[in-house]
Amino acid sequence: MIYACDNCHFLFSRTAEPEQCPDCGKYAVRPADEAQRQEYEKRLKEPREI
């Protein structure tokens, strides 16, 4: 499942619902909406620069 942080807007995937954002540590995590899920999938497909 894809989650979003309302504090820092970090998008991430977890199998279990997280309590805190792994990026900023805030407790403002919620399931991502459809637009955020699409953005997450798009980012996964983009080549990463090293």
pLDDT band with cut points at 50, 70 and 90 for residue 46:
confident
Could you give the count of Cα atoms lying within 13 Å of 13 in the half-sphere of its Cβ?
8
Q: What mean pLDDT value characterizes the chain?
A: 95
User: Residue 49: its pLDDT value, please?
Assistant: 77
pTM of the model: 0.87
Mean pLDDT along residues 10-16: 96
pLDDT band with cut points at 50, 70 and 90 for residue 17:
very high
Q: Residue 7 contacts by C-beta under 8 Å, 6 or more apart in sequence?
A: 21, 24, 26, 28
